[in-house]
Amino acid sequence: MNRASLLEKMPVAITAVVLITMTVAAGLHFPNFLTLRVLTNLLADNAFLGVVAVGLTFVILTGGIDLSVGSMVGLSSIAVAKLMAGGHMHPLLAMAVPIVGGAVLGASQGFLIAKYKLPPFLVTLAGLFLCRGIALKISLESLQIDHPFFNVLTGWSFALPGKAALTAPAVSLIVVVAFGIWLARQTAYGRAVYAIGGNQPSARLMGLPVDRTLIVTYGISGLCAALGGVLFAVYTSSGNAISGTGLELDAIAAVVIGGTLLSGGYGSVVGTLLGIGILGVVQTAITFQGTLSSWWTKIVIGILLLVFMLIQRTIESVARRAQNA
Amino acid sequence: MTSILELKGIGKRFPGVVALDGVDFDLRAGEVHALMGENGAGKSTLIKTMTGVYEPTAGHILVEGNPISFRSPDEAVRHGVSTVYQEVNLVPNLSVMENILLGREPKGPFGIKWRGVKERAEKAVRRLGLDVDVRTPLGSLSIAVQQLVAIARALDVSARVLVLDEPTSSLDAGEVEALFEVVRRLRDEGMGIIFVSHFLDQVYAISDRITVLRNGQKVGTWMAKDLLKIELVSQMIGRDASALVRTESIAQAASSGEAIISAKSVGRRGSVSDVSFEIKPGETLGFAGLLGSGRTEVLRLIYGIDHSDSGTLIFDGKSVSKVRPRDSIHRGIGFLSEDRKAEGIFPELSIRENMLILYQVKQGWFRRIPLLKQKQLAKDLAEKLKVQPPDVERSIQQLSGGNQQKALLARWLAVEPRLLLLDEPTRGIDVGAKFEIMSLVESLRQSGSSFVFVSSELSEVVKTCTQVVVMRDRKAVGTLVGADITEESIVEAIAS
Amino acid sequence: MPNWTAAAAMLVAVLFFNLLFTPSFFHVAIRDGRLFGSLIDILNRAVPVGLLSLGMTLVIATGGVDLSVGAVMAISGTVAAGLIARPPETPFAGGKSVPALAIPAALLAAMGCGLFNGILVAILDFQPIIATLLLMVAGRGVAQLLANGQIVTFSEPSFAAIARGATAMLPNPVWLLAITFVLFSLATRATALGLFVEATGSNPSAANLVGINARAVKIAVYTLCALCGGLAGIVITGDIQAADANNSGLYMELDAILAVSVGGTALAGGRFSLVGSIVGALLMQALTTTILTRGVSPEITLVLKAAVVVTVCLLQAPAFRDSISRYLPKKVPA
């Protein structure tokens, strides 16, 4: 295989193989694992993380990073609850406000990164502080949401055979992933994202709108994170300022495990979905097992992340050797 | 024939530097026009002004007779001026077709129409006679093919002027011929092509006219068939009127003793091949050749930044391999990079720290040189090398280029290397500093130190070297010793 | 030299503000043979971030960053508490309580983490953010594993004294910070280590050409940084006489990065100033304490920190300086 297609296809292929192996292994071990119901639950439980990770995929494809997504989830979830409880705002509007706000905040981070060449990790670190601060300022307590329309949304699901059902967050995840795939593959914006990640100075010399693309990318990441917060509110029927703490790390892990190179340029939204799948299967398997404690999830994710980083490094050096030969 | 691109009295100054001074240039439809000049002659600045990267500070640009000012590369492209750079400025992770059409893909109701992209890209590569699956990722293709893809991209916007900025630097002979095939075809279609290269044979193989720049000024424009190769080289290099004659002591320097280092047909794939030499105490070995002839690459092999994959390097009678810079330093070999900024100075550190860091490295991290001793050493070095201003506590960034170079030289003199590799030590510095550095090298040589000296200025090579290896196209093509070393003999060896 | 005068001036301004509006701020009382008051409180509370910022300064000076120190704090605290309390259902269960071993074991565990980071960055050549992110995620999991998910509480006066006791009128943590600061200053400035760190961060290619062993330098600074995390973890654990693997040191790596950058060490690497970082840590704590004593809700400190990060970054960014320089009066070259 030649260099670029090695970098493009190998990581995703490995992720897919790992996901299938893990699922089959879990299925053999736990009799009820391989059911549609477990799959739909997995989608519902990881919907907000998945949506966040899709947005983050675009950022990492440009070679950047967004650490603010976790607190953005917290801010958006508490904002939804507060707007509905205190402001008597209609749920639709109460959900739209944080989403728009998230996009604007994300785009402002992108502006600082693109225009002033500030390091992405520091700018989004500031974003992390800012969002968490505002979220805690809105309410230190978790706020229950009780609104007829919202309850319908929370309770709604699309019934499937075998007692399985797609909840609203699960459907949202599917829609977002589909939209993300289209955006990455079919639009000039999406191709510019890949070009910037491949070689930013070249992209500029080729006349691509590099600054605009970066601003939009961080805007999309902010938007997805805020949407993730809204889904979290729907999922739990409440808003909580400290929700999403450390979520940025899970999201980064999902993107990297999904085969997107941290140096940018190679990767896909589909891969991120597979990455979320792996995290979800680990989580579900640990729950099924029953005796393993929750922190094993963190350790396993850490080990998986390390293994995939090492795999990426190996593929990169093999590709470089193939290039030189 | 009509001019499609005309530059009149172009000047470009940067703070403190005049890069271009009243340069006229014209390009006709259906010709290949070579732009020649040594490093710092202003070639790349001129290219950048005509492709919209820089705005000139004087003069104007006419495209087909109409005055136009480009504010960005994009605008130049829209006026039909496209550029293909030495390093392929495409993205390796995307396919050939995407690289050709990135930013101007045909679109349908569902976004990019990939079938349309493929068809248009295929047409573009076919026009160049290139046989490649346009869906292949660019990064998996050879540099030569990538170069052609870059040209295909440039042509997709109906370019009338194509600027090829050192496109052949990383191509082998067959690939160059394939590229020239394409260039000739485009010329015959009526396109104007500007060709920048350091390879004389290539320039003669493809060009109709040649323009030479030197020190930011135009020396002249000739028909290629009317200009002898040897004349071209002397036009590019110029004759330094202030050049001193080669001193007797250099001409008669007799080498004695065991060789410090010797190379037997040393080479590295994709870099240089078949280089042999021997350096004894009290010798200065020069590498002469045009830019890109492989001079720097040889120094990097000796010092251990790159590793050779053929031939043998013998140090003090023992064959060595896989040397690292650290090992070289402990063997008493030093290296002064041609790129002061990227590989020389530590911009945040003081002149004193920049001068003494090597000495400190040799001492080890634990045995720090006491501050008072540091100050004394730095002061002595600054005096010896006439660093101006002599306040060694200042940041090195406050020094002029020449004084920075002296400080870097001081860094090496502080550890008294047996052999010091100097890569373009006199580039970009004023005449006074040049003279001081060369005198210093000569006096140290007389007291038994050895040097390798690389310079684009032949007069300097002739003045300082006891033997000269002539490089061409990344190969050593001859060795001159003693009285045979003259500017004429070197030029002849380069051009032959 | 790195410019920490701005941070120092801001610190003075914050103190001056308190002098005007919070008269009790400068009251220092002596009770039970030790000093009490807001100023002492600032010093004492700044210790964990101050400790972290010392190690972080060196890491940042090499052009890197260490996001894992918060998790390292949790690990070191848990190891120390585990060896003292011997909680059941943990790897520490069953043995005798060994307070004397708690500190060396905790520091050793921390340095192991640092070595891991150093190898990932220096040998495997991973980007520092990502390499240390790994331990930031998994490290907390390891700490929880060691504590079996419990908050390990203990009652061991000799260990608690590290954080709660006082010597010569001043709280012990302040002395710990002072001693660590002196040791770090000696280690970097009395040897050539500091120069090599600065050279590595200033120009990695040139550092390679002058023969500096950048790998060794990097492994050393990441190990030292984790050692600081270990010390900070011990202080926090001693203070509350418990190790909380979930929350110990949470977000503190970010505070430390902030203190370092406010203290004038450029985030791109190069020159560093340990004094500046300490001033930065004190400034952050003085702001927090002021906000608390003024009765403003503490969440605002997070917003304030965000503002400080962005401002400091912008002021360090050449692109931003260029864009505002046209609005500023031209400096006449000397």
pLDDT at res. C29: 87
Confidence of residue A48 (pLDDT cuts 50, 70, 90): very high
pLDDT at res. B241: 39
Cβ A252–C133 below 8 Å, yes or no? yes
Q: Compute the distance between CA of residue A5 and CA of residue B140 in angstroms, rounded to an integer.
A: 8
The DSSP-derived string for A276-318 is HHHHHHHHHHHHHH-SS-THHHHHHHHHHHHHHHHHHHHHHHH
DSSP-assigned letter for residue B139: G
- H helices within B304-400, ranges in order? 325-330, 340-343, 351-363, 371-384
Strands (E), B124-260: 161-165, 192-196, 209-214, 217-223
Q: How far is CA B83 from CA B73, B97, B122, B192, B391, in A?
A: 9, 18, 21, 12, 46
Average pLDDT, chain C: 89
Tokens of B171: 């191509």
**Does A151 touch chain B if contact means CB atoms closer than 8 Å?**
no
For chain B, how many helices (H) and strands (E)?
18, 22
Over residues B339-364, mean pLDDT = 92
- H helices within A200-268, ranges in order? 200-205, 210-236, 247-257
The SS3 assignment for C39 reads helix
Looking at 1.10.1040.10, 3.40.50.300, 3.40.1260.10, 3.20.20.140, the CATH number of the domain B3-237 comes to 3.40.50.300
Q: How far is CA C71 from CA B227, B270, B425, C244, in A?
A: 72, 47, 50, 11
Residues of chain C with C-beta less than 8 angstroms from the C-beta of B342: 203, 205-206
Taking alpha carbons only, the member of C163, C181, C191 closest to residue C45 is C163
State which residue of chain B sits closest to C208, comparing Cα positions.
B325
State which residue of chain B sits closest to C217, comparing Cα positions.
B365
- A238 torsion bin: left (phi>0), alpha (psi -120 to 50), beta (else): beta
Interface mutation vs chain C, best among A298, A301, A312, most C CBs within 10 Å:
A298
Q: Compute the distance between CA of residue C262 and CA of residue B98 in angstroms, rounded to an integer.
A: 44
Tokens of C138: 């998994």
Taking alpha carbons only, the member of C306, C289, C115 closest to residue C216 is C115
Residues of chain C with C-beta less than 8 angstroms from the C-beta of B389: none
Could you give the strand order of the β-sheet that contains B192-196, starting from the edge strand earlier in sequence? B81-84, B161-165, B192-196, B32-36, B209-214, B217-223
Over residues B136-141, mean pLDDT = 86
Over residues A59-79, mean pLDDT = 95
User: Dihedrals φ, ψ of B352, to 5°?
Assistant: -60, -50
Taking alpha carbons only, the member of B417, B303, B399, B395 closest to residue B346 is B395
Average pLDDT, chain A: 89
Could you give the strand order of the β-sheet that contains B66-68, starting from the edge strand earlier in sequence? B17-28, B3-14, B58-63, B66-68
pLDDT at res. A130: 93
Residues of chain B with C-beta less than 8 angstroms from the C-beta of C191: 365-368
Q: Compute the distance between CA of residue B470 and CA of residue B122 in angstroms, rounded to an integer.
A: 44
Taking alpha carbons only, the member of C231, C217, C228 closest to residue C188 is C217
Among A85-99, C215-229, C260-274, the range of highest mean pLDDT: C215-229
Distance from CA of B349 to the nearest CA of C (A): 7
Residues of chain B with C-beta less than 8 angstroms from the C-beta of A259: none
Confidence of residue A87 (pLDDT cuts 50, 70, 90): low
User: Dihedrals φ, ψ of B385, to 5°?
Assistant: -95, 5
Residue B379 burial by Cβ neighbours in a 10 Å radius (0-12, 13-18, 19+): middle
Confidence of residue C224 (pLDDT cuts 50, 70, 90): very high
Q: Compute the distance between CA of residue C204 and CA of residue A242 in angstroms, rounded to an integer.
A: 40
Distance from CA of A187 to the nearest CA of B (A): 5
Residue B113 and residue B105 in contact, taking contact as beta carbons nearer than 8 Å: yes
Taking alpha carbons only, the member of B478, B457, B485 closest to residue B277 is B478
C239 lies in which domain range?
A: 36-315
Chain C interface residues facing chain B, Cβ-Cβ under 8 Å? 190-193, 195-196, 198-199, 202-203, 205-213, 266, 270-271
Confidence of residue C231 (pLDDT cuts 50, 70, 90): very high
Cβ A293–C317 below 8 Å, yes or no? no
Q: Compute the distance between CA of residue B247 and CA of residue A144 in angstroms, rounded to an integer.
A: 93
Architecture of domain B248-332+420-495: 3-Layer(aba) Sandwich (3.40)
pLDDT at residue A3 greater than cutoff 70: no
How much is the ipTM here? 0.85
Residues of chain B with C-beta less than 8 angstroms from the C-beta of C202: 346-349
The whole-angstrom distance between residue B338's C-alpha and the CA centroid of its chain comes to 9
Q: Give the DSSP H or E segment for C242.
A: strand C242-243
Distance from CA of A60 to the nearest CA of B (A): 14
Residues in contact with B219: Cβ distance below 8 Å, sequence separation at least 6, in sequence order: B212, B213, B235, B236, B238
CATH of the domain at C295: 1.10.3470
On the question of a common fold for B3-237 and B248-332+420-495, the answer reads: yes
Convert the pLDDT of each residue in A271-286 to its tens digit: 999 999 999 998 888 8
User: Dihedrals φ, ψ of B320, to 5°?
Assistant: -125, 150
Looking at the domain assignment, is residue C327 inside a domain? no
Confidence of residue A158 (pLDDT cuts 50, 70, 90): confident
**Does B70 touch chain A if contact means CB atoms closer than 8 Å?**
no
Could you give the strand order of the β-sheet that contains B450-454, starting from the edge strand earlier in sequence? B318-320, B310-315, B261-268, B272-279, B475-481, B467-472, B284-288, B450-454, B419-423, B333-336
Residue B318 burial by Cβ neighbours in a 10 Å radius (0-12, 13-18, 19+): exposed
Convert the pLDDT of each residue in B442-495 to its tens digit: 889 988 899 999 987 788 888 889 999 998 888 888 899 888 888 888 888 887
User: Dihedrals φ, ψ of A63, to 5°?
Assistant: 90, 10
Convert the pLDDT of each residue in B82-110 to its tens digit: 888 877 789 989 999 999 999 889 998 88
The whole-angstrom distance between residue A139's C-alpha and the CA centroid of its chain comes to 25
Residues of chain B with C-beta less than 8 angstroms from the C-beta of A207: 73-74, 77, 103
Distance from CA of A259 to the nearest CA of B (A): 14
Cβ B94–A198 below 8 Å, yes or no? yes
Convert the pLDDT of each residue in B417-431 to its tens digit: 999 999 988 876 766
Given A117, A125, A253, which is nearest C254 (Cβ)? Answer: A125
Tokens of C56: 């972080």
Q: Compute the distance between CA of residue B268 and CA of residue A279 in angstroms, rounded to an integer.
A: 46
Q: Compute the distance between CA of residue C20 and CA of residue A197 in angstroms, rounded to an integer.
A: 52
The SS3 assignment for A3 reads helix
State which residue of chain C sits closest to B395, comparing Cα positions.
C1
Q: What percent of chain B has pLDDT over 70?
A: 93
Confidence of residue C37 (pLDDT cuts 50, 70, 90): confident
**Does A129 touch chain C if contact means CB atoms closer than 8 Å?**
yes
Question: What is the rounded radius of gyration, in angstroms, for the C-alpha atoms of chain A?
Answer: 20
DSSP-assigned letter for residue B137: B
pLDDT at res. B126: 87
pLDDT at res. B249: 65
Looking at the domain assignment, is residue C272 inside a domain? yes
Q: How far is CA C106 from CA A112, B299, C83, C116, C233, in A?
A: 40, 49, 9, 16, 9
Convert the pLDDT of each residue in B365-387 to its tens digit: 889 999 999 999 999 999 998 88
Q: Compute the distance between CA of residue A269 and CA of residue A39 in angstroms, rounded to an integer.
A: 19
Cβ C198–B411 below 8 Å, yes or no? no
The SS3 assignment for A159 reads strand
Q: Compute the distance between CA of residue B117 and CA of residue A97 in angstroms, rounded to an integer.
A: 39
Q: Which chains touch A (3 or more CB pairs under 8 A)?
A: B, C
Distance from CA of B213 to the nearest CA of C (A): 32
Tokens of C23: 């008269």
Residues of chain B with C-beta less than 8 angstroms from the C-beta of C208: 305, 325
Interfacial B residues in 112-151 facing A (CB < 8 Å) = 112, 136-140
Residue B406 and residue B441 in contact, taking contact as beta carbons nearer than 8 Å: no
Tokens of A275: 């990455």
pLDDT at res. C331: 47
User: Dihedrals φ, ψ of B475, to 5°?
Assistant: -135, 150
Ranges of each domain in chain B? 3-237, 248-332+420-495, 352-416
pLDDT at res. B435: 79
State which residue of chain A sits closest to B117, comparing Cα positions.
A186
Q: Give the DSSP H or E segment for C2.
A: none
In this predicted model, which residue has the larger pLDDT, A93 or B1? A93
State which residue of chain B sits closest to C268, comparing Cα positions.
B348
Domain count across chain C: 1
**Does A191 touch chain B if contact means CB atoms closer than 8 Å?**
yes
Residue B378 and residue B351 in contact, taking contact as beta carbons nearer than 8 Å: yes
The CATH number that domain A3-324 falls under is 1.10.3470
Q: Give the DSSP H or E segment for B123.
A: helix B114-127
Convert the pLDDT of each residue in B59-71 to its tens digit: 989 988 888 888 8
Residues of chain A with C-beta less than 8 angstroms from the C-beta of B112: 185-188, 191
For chain C, how many helices (H) and strands (E)?
15, 6
Q: What percent of chain A has pLDDT over 70?
A: 95
Given C141, C305, C314, which is nearest A129 (Cβ)? Answer: C305
Ranges of each domain in chain A? 3-324
Convert the pLDDT of each residue in B321-341 to its tens digit: 888 999 999 999 999 998 888
